[in-house]
Amino acid sequence: MGAREQLAREANLCVLPNEERARIFRQQTQTKKPVECIWNVPSLAEVSPQKKRPDARQPLRLFYGGSLSPDRLPPDVLEVISAFKGAVLLEVVGYPTYSAQDYLQKMKYMRLCKTRCIKYHGTVPERLDLLKIADRCEAALCLMPLNADDINMKTMAGASNKPFDAMARGLAVVVSDLPEWTRMYLRRGGNMASVSGERKKYAISAMGYGIAINPESRESITAGLEWMLANREKLWELGGRGRQKIKNEWNYEQMFTKVTGYLSS
């Protein structure tokens, strides 16, 4: 922390990927230097061509890419996907975190892996390989725990590259029903629409880029999957809207102009 404070005072510019993190950083370091918030967005080169309309006769494919842990990919999500008996498939790319080394082994021993509804690709050599796997899917799981204690876990909106990468490839995002996340990925550009399923209320956005669920509730997970299966065309529209948002605004070239302005001055 001492080194961090010294660097904050000596640097010409400090960059953080979340507004709350930037606020805490200013408070902790007492730096007088500029502090900018720049999200972890992809470059324009990573925006894919427009996705084809979905074939509702095929299973709904979901994507998860990143570190594997019960917080990020809850076992309940895997169990519920398995209960759809092949109507929903999950493509997983990633590795277990240091604190969850046994998580992958638990996944392998779970009955789920025998249903062939979850495909684990492990780690892939190139980022492009990860994006190609994502391109086969219609939506991406970008879930966070609802009651995290760790400050980094609490301030992942903007810092997490998962939803931005998914949007760049035309995938709708499935986020946790957290205020900061729903403001960013569901409410921006339109009003929220509450949808009540038989089991659990969840929310979709009329003008957003995906849907929100409670990842700690099997009822909410089930309701979200049922909605996606029944609304493949709408899901495609959400993904297309997200792709356009990345192309127009939420890209590295556009957002990094704040930093290049300092570099050229």
| Assessment of whether the complete model's pTM goes beyond 0.85 | yes
Query: Which uninterrupted H or E stretch holds 181?
Result: helix 179-182
Residue-wise pLDDT for 102-135, tens only, equals: 887 777 666 566 667 888 898 999 999 999 999 9
Return the CATH number of the domain spanning residue range 59-248.
3.40.50.2000
Give residue 103's pLDDT: 81
Query: For a pLDDT cut of 90, what percent of the chain falls above it?
Result: 65
Q: Are strands 201-205 and 88-96 parallel, antiparallel or unpaired?
A: unpaired
CATH 3.40.50.2000 residue ranges for the chain: 59-248
Residue-wise pLDDT for 125-171, tens only, equals: 999 999 999 999 999 999 999 988 888 888 999 999 999 999 999 99
Query: For a pLDDT cut of 70, what percent of the chain falls above it?
Result: 89
- Dist. CA 65–CA 201, nearest whole Å: 27
